[in-house]
């Protein structure tokens, strides 16, 4: 402040403060007041400003002295700002986004912490389900074994009707390595068509005629359960005749009540059971082989059945026989 014409420094370092400058200015203006009274008025205003500045300085000093400021606090704040900016760069453009990300990460962390417990819970659940599946699978296996015991002798009986008297039929039920959609069994039909030969998977039976008769036997046995709409039998009459052929015709006629049966045959007794007969034969036309197809009805059917009965020698006797077969 200005005391006895001298400025008292506010102690603000080597560089003069605003207060120092005002004090010097007030002194200079006061010296001019001896020349002109108007400078005295300016000097009074300058002195008033100096007092006001002094009061402000003292107030600031008081506030500064009352603040408890730790030397390392600024460094801590700066470090925190660095961390916040790094979090913004990685997890969101503002504090709200960072906090939302923190909540999500906390939930994920908690899931990882609880993983062992969750894993144990899932393992227990899997064991319970395995126990249930095992129980169901064992019941399915028991049903299969019971059905196999019933199926095997009945299929063999059908074989005997179809002139396959020395044939065997077995249902092989083998445990699978794991659960499947229909249980834990691998099921195969095993067949032997010759005396002294071991049973083999049905898929390895070579003869077309035997395969057809085997399938006819199986289908005849399972007719009421089977949902296949159309069955095709090719060469089903190979190696059979007489009563065996009649049995084949009867079985296919029975099957036709619930299925569409397509059968290729050269035996009159089998053809006579059909609801519809179609003749298929080859011929030469313009030096080219062609296949002709003709639906047989009435007398045409009688003639074809007669031809099959007597190898092409059609007589009144064979035609009468054919009419009797056709009913």
pLDDT of residue 11: 43
What is the C-alpha separation between 263 and 22, in angstroms, rounded? Answer: 127
Residue 96 covered by a domain = no
208 phi, psi to nearest 5 deg: -65, -40
Does an H or E element contain 188, and which? strand 183-192
pLDDT of residue 92: 84
Residue 19 covered by a domain = yes
220, burial (CB in 10 Å: exposed 0-12, middle 13-18, buried 19+): buried
Q: Is the sign of the CA dihedral 35, 37, 38, 42 positive or negative?
A: positive
Residue 113 covered by a domain = no
Residue 14 covered by a domain = yes
CA-based nearest residue to 218, from 148, 270, 286, 282:
148
pLDDT of residue 68: 67
Does an H or E element contain 150, and which? helix 115-161
Residue 27 covered by a domain = yes
What is the C-alpha separation between 210 and 202, in angstroms, rounded? Answer: 10
Residue 91 covered by a domain = no
Domain boundaries, position 40 = 2-66
Residue 60 covered by a domain = yes
What is the C-alpha separation between 187 and 134, in angstroms, rounded? Answer: 17
Question: What's the pTM value of the predicted model, to 2 decimals?
Answer: 0.55
pLDDT of residue 193: 86
Instruction: Please write the tens of the pLDDT for every residue from 213-272.
Output: 888 888 888 877 778 888 888 878 877 777 888 888 988 998 898 889 999 998 999 999
pLDDT of residue 5: 39
What is the C-alpha separation between 58 and 215, in angstroms, rounded? Answer: 116
pLDDT of residue 206: 59
3-class SS of residue 276: coil
Which region holds residue 287: left if phi is over 0, alpha if psi is between -120 and 50, else beta? left
Whether 164 contacts 213, CB under 8 Å: yes
Number of separate domains in the chain: 1
Residue 56 covered by a domain = yes
Each residue's pLDDT tens digit in the chain (327 positions)? 333 334 444 444 456 778 888 888 888 888 887 777 777 888 888 888 888 888 888 888 887 777 666 767 778 888 888 888 888 888 888 888 989 998 999 988 888 878 878 888 889 999 999 999 999 999 999 999 999 999 999 999 888 888 888 899 999 999 999 999 899 999 999 999 888 889 999 878 756 667 878 888 888 888 777 788 888 888 788 777 778 888 889 889 988 988 899 999 989 999 999 999 999 989 888 889 999 999 999 999 999 999 988 877 788 888 999 999 988
């Amino acid at each position: 402040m200005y005391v006895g014409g001298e400025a008292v420094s506010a102690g603000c370092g080597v560089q003069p403060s605003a207060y120092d400058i005002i004090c010097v200015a007030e002194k200079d203006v006061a010296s001019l007041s001896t020349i002109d009274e108007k400078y005295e008025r300016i000097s009074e205003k300058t002195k008033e400003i100096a007092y006001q500045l002094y009061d402000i300085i003292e107030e600031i000093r008081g506030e500064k002295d009352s603040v408890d400021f730790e030397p390392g606090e600024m460094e801590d704040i700066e470090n925190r700002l660095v961390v916040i900016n790094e979090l913004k760069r990685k997890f969101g453009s503002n504090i709200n986004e960072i906090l939302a990300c923190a909540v999500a990460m906390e939930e994920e962390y908690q899931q990882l912490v609880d993983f062992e417990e969750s894993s144990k819970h899932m393992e227990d659940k899997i064991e319970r389900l395995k126990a249930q599946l095992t129980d169901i699978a064992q019941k399915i296996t028991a049903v299969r074994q019971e059905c196999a015991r019933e199926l095997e002798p009945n299929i063999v009986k059908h074989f005997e009707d179809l002139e396959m008297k020395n044939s065997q039929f077995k249902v092989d039920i083998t445990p699978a390595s794991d659960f499947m959609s229909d249980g834990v069994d691998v099921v195969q039909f095993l067949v032997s068509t010759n005396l002294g030969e071991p049973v083999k998977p049905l898929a390895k039976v070579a003869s077309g005629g035997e395969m057809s008769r085997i399938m006819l036997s199986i289908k005849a046995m399972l007719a009421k359960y089977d949902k296949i709409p159309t069955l095709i039998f090719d060469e089903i009459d190979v190696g059979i005749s007489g009563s065996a052929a009649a049995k084949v015709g009867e079985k296919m006629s029975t099957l036709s009540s619930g299925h569409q049966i397509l059968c290729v045959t050269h035996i009159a007794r089998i053809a006579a059971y059909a609801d519809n007969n179609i003749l298929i034969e080859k011929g030469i036309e313009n030096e080219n082989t062609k296949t002709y197809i003709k639906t047989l009805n009435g007398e045409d059917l009688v003639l074809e059945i007669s031809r099959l009965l007597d190898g092409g020698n059609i007589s009144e006797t064979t035609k009468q026989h054919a009419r009797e077969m056709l009913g």
